[in-house]
Amino acid sequence: MNILSLKDATLSLNKKIILSKETVHIYAGEKIALVGRNGCGKSTLLKILAQEMDIEDGMYIQKPGLSVAYLSQNPNTIPCCSVGDFLHEVIEAPHLAFQAEELLLTLRLDPKSMLSQLSGGELRRAYIAKTLLIPADLIILDEPTNHLDIIGIEWLETWILNSKQSFIIVAHDRRFLKNVTQRTLWLHEGKLRSAPVGFEGFEEWQETFLQEQVRIQSRLDVKLAQELRWLARGVTARRRRNEGRLSRLKELRKQKASFSKDSQKISLSRQEDVGLTRQLMEGWNLGYTLPDARILFQGLNFRLLKGDRIGMIGPNGCGKSTLIRVLTKELDPGQGVLKTSSTLNWSIFKQNQPIEELSYSVKRFLCAPGSDYVDVQGKQRHVVAYLKEFLFAPDQAHCLVHMLSGGERNRLRLAKLLSQSPDLLILDEPTNDLDIETLDFLKDFLLQYSGTIIIVSHDRDFLDDVVSSILVFELQGYVKEFIGSFSDYLQEGSNRHAFFKPIEKVIKPSIEKSIEHRSSVKKEKLSYHEKFFLEHGLKEIEMLLSQKKKLEESLEHFQDNTPLPMSPLKIEELSSMTQKLSECLENIRVKEETWIQIAEKESRLSGKN
């Protein structure tokens, strides 16, 4: 059932087109990924769907009584109340009180803590909890994984998968989107396109779609066809780079494993003989204890060598940022000895670090006054060419920093940091708010970077694609080193990792769903809907096949009888017809697979009886 639609929606902000007469439908129970580059208008579109912003033209249509819950990327104000009172604002039924207690326990939130005293990660978890408690038909989540640790991300995946509510999600975490979404909306240059696949199959669909558009447009508009070819090449190249990264990392991990004889030492050798000149840092029995006697880490022995690429993972509040502050000598270790090379220099990318130069232009932020060139690791690069690598358009060089979106500001901060050439580059949650294309560029850059890198991140795909080893914070403050990716670490066996265990998708978000689950396992049988679809599904498929034939005939007739060059209205009509045919083909595939699965289940149950 269609619960919400935008029809011919148009919106422009700061002379930039966000939506250009776009139409989209949201259906009950859908889990949708919304993707696009930073600054394309994803957050703006979410605000429109949540009715926090109006469109200039077009129609906003919703089913009667529709309720929407919206998690914004950055809340404007923080209420002066406790976590418990904050959640109870939306509790309207007894079972929600039970859910609230479950959420507080699962998300490790103290109901008595004041919101104003929470860390960034804790505050994000509180807002997520409140959003999920709202009895809404549609839940809109803008970057829900920001500041969440891996445990929290996997828990959120479980909640979404087991929910019957509709979700629209903007997130940079590839694996999160792959695990939870069934359809993808792609916002690009004011056009909103619907891919009938979850994010896991989106890039393959996108590549096929762009190649088809190139074929259509090649007869109509040479310039547009060239742009589409460029986009298609970018998607194809990105997929190939992913394969290349994997092979390079396997070699790095192999070298590291052959070098490391002591599992407590952190080292990566690209040469057989490693001299003292390659050693940047060494620690013995390092530890840090808080004033309340809580041990953050203890007994840490390590050696950091040139060329190391190390990921650091652990739950929120376990001490990762504290360890970084110890390594950079911002804090003295409570115990142990830290020895650092006298010539060591480092640069740090800190999460949530504001940009002070908001009144600067983008070019002035990167270059010296009056210059058009930026010093990139000792070489002069024209600022426009350098910005293109970070997916900025040429005219954005003269844009003021305060006009950029949150993700674009993060991109700009990274561009400035990565232009330097420190011995040690420390990145604390660098993936927050970055779009997927920028993340791919960042992965390639880090693998080619000649210096040493330490990365704190909860992005599982990012860690798998970049690091050669990981430092894992475990119980009682012990930190273990593992050579390989985070996925490799999980596969080592449950006795190795205390916090990180593959979660079974069994958590239910309400008491009603738990009762439904318990009753269903007493006796397996076909549901009413399964019986109905088994009986009537083939007729639905036949109707769709008939619709497919009509669409194909209409498309062929349109192309044969439309004079060239086409008007913009005719081009839009052609694009709409192509989209409808794509959606029809996907509906046929889904219904055929569903009918076969139900028929096999019915046959199996008949055999049991």
Residue 439, helix vs strand vs coil: helix
Residue 370, helix vs strand vs coil: coil
Decide if pLDDT at 363 tops 90. yes
Q: Do the Cβ atoms of 468 and 483 come closer than 8 Å?
A: yes
Number of Cβ atoms within 10 Å of the Cβ of 155: 19
Number of Cβ atoms within 10 Å of the Cβ of 378: 8
Residue 74, helix vs strand vs coil: coil
Q: Where are the domains of the chain?
A: 2-206, 283-493, 528-606
pLDDT tier, 237 (very low <50, low <70, confident <90, very high otherwise): low
The number of C-alpha atoms within 13 Å of 553 and in the hemisphere containing its C-beta is 6
Decide if pLDDT at 510 tops 50. no
Topology match between the domains 2-206 and 283-493: yes
Question: In this predicted structure, what is the pLDDT of residue 425?
Answer: 92
Q: Which amino acid is at 307?
A: G
* Mean pLDDT along residues 67-75: 89
Bridge partners (DSSP) of residue 376 are 379
CA separation for the pair 608, 159 (Å, rounded): 33
- DSSP type of residue 263: T
pLDDT tier, 608 (very low <50, low <70, confident <90, very high otherwise): low
* Mean pLDDT along residues 72-93: 82
Entry pTM: 0.69
Q: Report strand pairing: 16-27 vs 479-483.
A: unpaired
Find, among 502, 465, 496, 503, the residue nearest to 482 by Cα: 496
Element (H, E) at 598: helix 568-608
Question: In this predicted structure, what is the pLDDT of residue 270?
Answer: 32
Question: In this predicted structure, what is the pLDDT of residue 519?
Answer: 40
Q: Report strand pairing: 191-195 vs 183-188.
A: antiparallel
CA separation for the pair 420, 376 (Å, rounded): 6
Q: Do the Cβ atoms of 421 and 378 come closer than 8 Å?
A: yes
Question: In this predicted structure, what is the pLDDT of residue 388?
Answer: 86
Cis peptide before 354 (omega within 30 of 0): no
Question: In this predicted structure, what is the pLDDT of residue 267?
Answer: 35
CA separation for the pair 167, 30 (Å, rounded): 6
Decide if pLDDT at 223 tops 90. no
What angle is formed at CA 591 by the lines to CA 585 and CA 596, rounded to 5 degrees? 130
pLDDT digits (tens, 9 = 90+) for 520-561: 434 567 777 778 788 888 888 888 888 888 887 887 787 677
pLDDT tier, 264 (very low <50, low <70, confident <90, very high otherwise): very low
Q: Which residue bears the tokens 């990318």?
A: 349
The mean-pLDDT minimum among 85-99, 254-268, 290-304, 450-464 falls in 254-268
What percentage of the chain carries pLDDT values higher than 70?
81
CA separation for the pair 112, 161 (Å, rounded): 30
The mean-pLDDT minimum among 148-152, 229-233, 419-423, 569-573 falls in 229-233
The better pLDDT of the pair 606, 131 is held by: 131
CA separation for the pair 148, 156 (Å, rounded): 10
User: What is the three-state SS of 134-157?
Assistant: CCCCEEEEECCCCCCCHHHHHHHH
**Architecture field, domain 283-493:** 3-Layer(aba) Sandwich (3.40)
The better pLDDT of the pair 71, 318 is held by: 71
Question: In this predicted structure, what is the pLDDT of residue 179?
Answer: 94
Question: In this predicted structure, what is the pLDDT of residue 609?
Answer: 52
**Architecture field, domain 2-206:** 3-Layer(aba) Sandwich (3.40)
CA separation for the pair 36, 441 (Å, rounded): 15
CA separation for the pair 359, 403 (Å, rounded): 9
pLDDT tier, 513 (very low <50, low <70, confident <90, very high otherwise): very low
Average pLDDT along the chain: 80
Find, among 461, 522, 454, the residue nearest to 486 by Cα: 461
Question: In this predicted structure, what is the pLDDT of residue 505?
Answer: 46
Decide if pLDDT at 229 tops 60. yes
pLDDT tier, 47 (very low <50, low <70, confident <90, very high otherwise): very high
Question: In this predicted structure, what is the pLDDT of residue 372?
Answer: 92
Question: In this predicted structure, what is the pLDDT of residue 261?
Answer: 46
The mean-pLDDT minimum among 342-356, 507-521, 574-588 falls in 507-521
What percentage of the chain carries pLDDT values higher than 90?
24
Find, among 53, 52, 93, 54, the residue nearest to 70 by Cα: 52
Question: In this predicted structure, what is the pLDDT of residue 210?
Answer: 78
- DSSP type of residue 397: G
Tokens of 115: 């919101």
Question: In this predicted structure, what is the pLDDT of residue 233?
Answer: 63
Question: In this predicted structure, what is the pLDDT of residue 422?
Answer: 86
Decide if pLDDT at 18 tops 90. yes
Decide if pLDDT at 115 tops 80. yes
Decide if pLDDT at 75 tops 90. no
User: What is the three-state SS of 349-368?
Assistant: ECCCCCCCCCCCEHHHHHCC
Bridge partners (DSSP) of residue 68 are 138
* Mean pLDDT along residues 405-430: 85
Bridge partners (DSSP) of residue 479 are 473
Decide if pLDDT at 177 tops 90. yes
The better pLDDT of the pair 522, 570 is held by: 570
Query: CA dist 458 to 9, 140, 147, 542, Å?
Result: 36, 22, 8, 46
CA separation for the pair 387, 279 (Å, rounded): 34
